[in-house]
Amino acid sequence: MKDNLFVFSQYIIPQHALSRLVGWFASTKIEFIKNLFIKNFAKKFGINMSEAKIEDLEAFESFNDFFTRELKDGARPIADTKLVSPADGAVSQLGKIELGRVFQAKGRDFSVTELLGGDSDRAEPYLNGDFTTIYLSPKDYHRVHMPCAGTLKETIYVPGDLFSVNPATAQGVDGLFARNERLVCMFETEHGPMAMVLVGAMIVAGIETVWSGQVCPLPKEAQVQTFDGKEIKLEKGEEMGRFKLGSTVVLCFPQDAIKFKEEIQATSPLMMGQALAD
C-alpha cells in the first residue's frame, strides 16, 4: 500500500517544477543553506567521505559539488575485463533484449526503440542484444564512467517525465526508463556499437557530460547532436558524465557482443570499475 501511494503521488505532483526548485537549493552557494543541506544528507545516508578528495563537508561550494564529489586516486580500481561497471549502484535488471523489448520488472517492459529516442534504424543493432540497468541510490558516488573505451558518435536528448527511478517505481510505472527525460549517448567501441543512456528522475536537477557540460534540462523537444567531425574518444574507466542527484544508467549492446559475469545478477551491488562482463 505504501509503495502504491508513493507511485500514485508522482502522477499528480508537478514533477518538473519540484525538480527545478530542488535544483535551486542544490546549486546555491549561500553557506547556511548549502552546509545544512550537505550535513543532513551526509548523516542520513552515511556518506563515506574518507574516499573523497575533499573530506571537509563545509569545503564544497554547493550541494551539487558535494554530490558529484571526486574520489581519491585509486578509490575505484578498474578491472582488467572487457566491460566494467560505469557507476556505483546496484543492478536493477540485466539480460537479453528480446524482440526489441527491455525487461523492467515483473509484468513490465519497454521498447528499446523508444528508449533510444524513437528511431528504428538507431535501435536496430540492439533488437536482440543485451542490456543492464544500474540504479544509483542517493548514497552512491554519482560520476559516471566509461564501461569500455569508445568513440562518441551521437547524442539524443529525449524530453519526458521525471518519475523516481527507485525499485518501487520500477515495479509500478509502465515503461519507466523510456518515458523519463534522458540523454542517449551512442558510442562505437572495439566490441561494436554501445548505447549508454543517462536517465533523469524526480529532483534530478541536471545531467552533465564531460564534452558538453550540463545537458539536461533542455527545452522540451528532442535534440540530436552528431560528432562525426569532432572525435571524442574516452578510455575505459574515464569519466563521461554525472548526475546532479541520483538516477539510472542503461547500457545496451548488440547480440553476442558481451557475456555478463555469472555473479552479476539483478539486485547485485556494484562499484564503478568492477568487472561486469566478458
Judge whether 191 counts as a catalytic residue: no
Judge whether 247 counts as a catalytic residue: yes
Q: Which of 65, 88, 109, 140 is catalytic?
A: 88
Q: Are 264 and 91 in contact (CB under 8 A)?
A: yes
Q: What are phi and psi of 117, to 5 degrees?
A: 110, 0
Q: Which of 85, 109, 145, 191 is catalytic?
A: 145
**Number of DSSP helices (H) and strands (E) in the chain, helices first:** 8, 17
Spatial separation of the C-alpha atoms in residues 3 and 120, rounded to whole Å: 34
Spatial separation of the C-alpha atoms in residues 221 and 28, rounded to whole Å: 27
Q: Which of 62, 85, 164, 247 is catalytic?
A: 247
HSE-CB for 55 with a 13 A CA cutoff: 5
Judge whether 120 counts as a catalytic residue: no
The torsion angle over the Cα atoms of residues 14, 19, 21 and 27, rounded to 10 degrees, is: -170
Burial, 165: exposed, middle or buried (Cβ in 10 Å; 0-12, 13-18, 19+)? Answer: buried
Spatial separation of the C-alpha atoms in residues 218 and 223, rounded to whole Å: 9
* Cis geometry, peptide bond prior to residue 217 (ω within 30 degrees of 0): yes
Separation in Å, CA 192 to CA 58, 251, 253:
44, 13, 8
The residues annotated with a catalytic role in the active site are 88, 145, 247
